[in-house]
Structure 1
């Protein structure tokens, strides 16, 4: 390892959001550690996202572009970013900074203090969130299914604000098959089954512009839940 922390922003056609996310990330990371890298996992964008990050990379060695010519899916892009990372701690968050970045230190300090995984939660009683009722219902329905069918003890599995110890993520990733959004849930479920310490904490979170979630999405993600249940049974973890 050549630095303490790798912070990753997964990106797909998010050039405008990056103009805010990169400088804000650097400012927040500087407050936490002097030993970090900011890795932008750019996943087949065609809106100039890669070019923007390359400009930052050229003038600030702490910024790294990880470009893919074709769309891999969010989960695959994050797995690829981990393999390219140089940090003892690996964290990622959404490019729209939906989670208040005031929580970034808390996220990293949780790993420093002994947690294997730290994850922000929009659904704990103390969480403060701003989102429409449709998304709220869909999220609560989905997470209830994960707890019921997969036996998870967490409130929120899909929040895009997580950190991992290098050892934990290296152990879990070879068995993770989800290529896109379900990647988060599969990691958290497998981590709990393997006995890793997962620390969840409440956050302030706001819904990003243009984000839409339909109630039918719960059904689609439900099929992912059932497939994972079958795989876990077959693997006899």
Structure 2
């Protein structure tokens, strides 16, 4: 039986085209980081585009790949929770299936946890970060993260970059307090980790906007509301 050090998670929802690149590229990079000591978990969240069958076929031919399928949509956060609970590695990480963050940074992400950090996260908003995205998304991202820093007291710069790693035992002890089931999960985990005194490393990354990614007015309102609700739970409900 293989000893697993690193469990990498790809959250997936109707991402068949991206998977065809993401799985082989992930295996290549992970093999260089933790030779023979990693697993790639695909947290497939109720897809209807053939993603399930593609990953299942890959899983049959490569024991390093594991499919975690949901018949009904769980939401990004709940899908990640399930994947981290099922992971076998002492280090867990996840990144977006479109590989928006340059995979050359994955070694640095994992190495931060090996060096004693509880959490490591890529940042698109540090001075050394190199990003390619539309002006509308840039303004929305900076506004959102400014609100998170101001209202929730976070010292981090980028909370929603889908490129994070954790010491698995420390993450699992934190997750029962995390209530976000979808996109706000990333922010809530980072805020609660800081409140609990976790050691966090944030570092600049190269990042490019994925195709077809848009910011809707409804999304901005929902994310702003989520910030206020988390502040209420932390400071009024003390939860």
TM-score, L = length of structure 2: 0.97
Aligned equivalents of 1:219, 1:124: Cα separation in 2: 25
Deviations 1:6-49 (A, max 9, x none): 00000000001000000000000000012000000000000000
Question: Higher mean Cα deviation, 71-80 or 217-226?
Answer: 217-226
SS of 1:65's equivalent in the other structure is strand
Using the TM superposition, give the Cα deviation of residue 220 of structure 1 relative to its aligned residue in structure 2, in angstroms. Answer: 1.9
In 2, Cα distance between the equivalents of 1:79 and 1:219? Answer: 25
Q: Which structure 1 residue ranges, 5 or more long, are not aligned?
A: none
Deviation at residue 236 of structure 1 after TM alignment: 3.0
Structure 2 residue 137 is matched with structure 1 residue 135: yes
Q: How many residues align?
A: 237
SS in 2 for 1:87: coil
Equivalences for residues 75-86 of structure 1 within 5 A: 75-86=77-88
Contact persistence 1:141–1:218 (CA under 8 A)? no
**Residue 75 of structure 1: how far off its partner (Å):** 0.3
Whether 1:214 aligns to 2:216 is yes
Residue of structure 1 in register with 2:178 after alignment: 176
Q: 1:235 to 1:3 in 2, by over 3 A?
A: farther
Q: What residue in structure 2 maps to residue 104 of structure 1? A: 106
**Which segments of 5 or more consecutive residues in structure 2 lack a partner in the other structure?**
none
Structure 1 equivalent of residue 9 of structure 2:
8
Cα distance in 1, alignment partners of residues 14 and 70 from structure 2? 12
What is the CA–CA distance in structure 2 between the aligned matches of 1:90 and 1:2, rounded to whole Å?
14
Of 150, 153, 162, 2:164 maps to 162
Q: What RMSD, in angstroms, separates the aligned Cα atoms of the two structures?
A: 1.2
Deviations 1:160-184 (A, max 9, x none): 0000001210111000000000000
Separation in 2, partners of 1:117, 1:19:
29
Q: Does 1:37 align with 2:68?
A: no
Instruction: Tell me the secondary structure at the aligned position of residue 3 of structure 1.
Output: coil
TM-score normalised to the size of structure 1? Answer: 0.98
Query: Alpha-carbon deviation of 1:2?
Result: 4.2
**CA apart distance, 1:235:** 4.6
